[in-house]
Amino acid sequence: MKRILLVYGLSLLFGAKEAAGELCLECPSKTVVRPGRTATLPHFATNHSDTAVATCYLIRDSEHWLLGSSCVELSPGARQEFSAALTVPDSADGVWNRVIVENHSGTSTCTYIVEVPELIAFTWAFVHPRQADITWAVGDSCADTATVFRRAAGGDWTERGQAFMDDGRKLTFQDKDVSAGSTYEYQLGLPFQQRLLYRGRVSVKIPASEPGPPARERLQLEAWPNPASKEMTLRFNVPAAAEVRFSLYDVAGRLWTRRAFPLTSGWYTYAVAIPHDLPPGLYILQGDQNHQTIRRRISIVR
C-alpha cells in the first residue's frame, strides 16, 4: 500500500496582507491524498508589522465546513507554522476539493487544492453465452490483485475469485459460471488497511444464444443513464475484429476526449467514470470502426 503523496508546487500561493496588522498567510499549492487517508496540511503566518499581533486562523473545506483552527500571537517579523488534518472519505476518489485557510477577519487567505486520485479509471466487459471477461483499468495506487464480487438481479454479493494485474495496469477476471440470458453485476474489492474498498461496479447481460456470423452487422451503441453525472455505461456491438475509437465532442464540435480499443467481434459493456472537470451540458458521443460511424447525444449534469 503506497504512502500519502504530498506534492508541493514550485511557487507558493500568498493571500492578501491584512491592512491593520499586515498578516500574511502562505500554503503549498497542491496535495494528493488517497481515499480513507488523513493528510496534514501545513501553512504559515507572517507578521510584517512592527508590533505584536494576536489572531486566529480558520481552516475550511470548499463547502465552508470548519476543519480546524489555530490562534497565536505573533511578534514583529515572526513567521510561524500551523497544520490542519484533512481526512478524505473512502467514497471520494476522483474528486478535487479546495481547502481554504483564512484569518478571523477573512482579509488574508490561501488555498490548497486537494486531489484524490481515481482508483478505477474505467471498466469494460466481453460476454457470450458461456463466459464473461471483465477488465478494470486501475490507478497507480491500487494493489496488483483484487477480489471480484458478483450478484445476479435481486441477489446478494458473493465472492467469485481474484483479478490479477497485467502489464498495462489492468485487472482482469474471467467468469465461466454464467447462465445464458442472465444479467450480472460485478465489482472489485480493493485491499486497503485490512479491509476492502468496493469500486468499479459494472452490469453485464449474458447473451441468450451464440452470436451469428460477424462482419455483416453495423456498429451499434447504447449509453445509460442519460443524463449522467458521475458514471455512464456504454454497450456496443463490434461487427468485426478491428480498432474501435470513441470520441466525445461538445455541441460546438470541440473534442474533449478520445479512446481507442483493439477488439474482436461481439458485444461489449464499458463503464466509464465521467471526469470531474467536464462541464455540464450536451455532448456527442461518437464511435468509429472500419469506416462506420455511430453517434449518440448525451447530457452531463452536476
Mean pLDDT of 232-238: 84
Mean pLDDT of 140-158: 85
Strands 109-115 and 30-32: parallel
The whole-angstrom separation of Cα 7 and Cα 19 is 32
Q: Are residues 141 and 89 in the same domain?
A: no
What is the torsion angle, in degrees rounded to the nearest 10, for the CA atoms of residue 205, residue 208, residue 210 and residue 214?
Answer: -60
Structural domain range at position 65: 13-115
pLDDT value of residue 202: 85
Whole-model pTM: value is 0.51
Q: Is the pLDDT of residue 211 over 70?
A: no
Which strand ranges, in their side-by-side order, compose the sheet holding 38-47?
13-14, 23-27, 38-47, 79-87
The model's pLDDT over 212-227, given as tens digits with 9 standing for 90+, comes to: 544 446 788 888 889 9
Boundary (domain end) residue, out of 157, 184, 210: 210
Task: Tell whether 105 and 90 lie within a shared domain.
Answer: yes
Residue 91: what pLDDT? 58
Please tell me the total number of residues recorded for the chain in this structure. Answer: 302
Task: Round to whole Å and give the CA distance between 28 and 260.
Answer: 37
Boundary of a domain, candidates 190, 210, 230: 210
- Flag whether 120 is in a domain: no
**How many CB atoms neighbour CB 292 within 10 A?**
15
Q: Between 113 and 236, where is the model more confident?
A: 236
pLDDT at 96 over 60: no
Give per-residue pLDDT as tens, 237-250. 888 888 888 999 98
The answer to whether residue 4 is domain-embedded is no
Can you give the CATH number for the domain in which 87 is found? 2.60.40.10
Rounded CA-CA distance 33/39 in Å is: 7
Distances (CA, A) of 168 to 62, 140, 165, 171: 35, 11, 8, 9
Q: CB-hemisphere CA count at 13 Å for 80?
A: 17
| pLDDT exceeds 50 at position 2 | no
Domain membership of residue 6 (yes or no) is no
Residues 270-285, mean pLDDT to the nearest whole number: 83
Q: Which residue has the higher pLDDT, 6 or 88?
A: 88
Q: Are residues 220 and 185 in the same domain?
A: no
Give the residue-averaged pLDDT of 164-169: 78
Q: Is the pLDDT of residue 178 over 80?
A: yes
Domain of 225: which CATH number? 2.60.40.1930
pLDDT at 106: 58
Average pLDDT over the chain, rounded to an integer: 76
- Mean pLDDT of the region 88-93: 63
Higher pLDDT, 2 or 245: 245
The CA distance from 269 to 280, in Å, is 24
Confidence of residue 253 (pLDDT cuts 50, 70, 90): confident
Mean pLDDT (whole number) for 121-146: 78
What is the arithmetic mean of pLDDT over 166-182? 85
pLDDT-wise least confident of 154-158, 253-257, 297-301: 253-257
Whether 144 is in a domain gets the answer yes
Pick the residue with more confidence: 34 or 81?
81
Number of domains forming the structure of the chain:
3
Do residue 185 and residue 219 come from a single domain?
no
Cell readout for 55 is 489572531
The Cα 260–Cα 137 span in angstroms is 14
pLDDT at 153 over 60: yes
Residue 121 lies in a domain: no
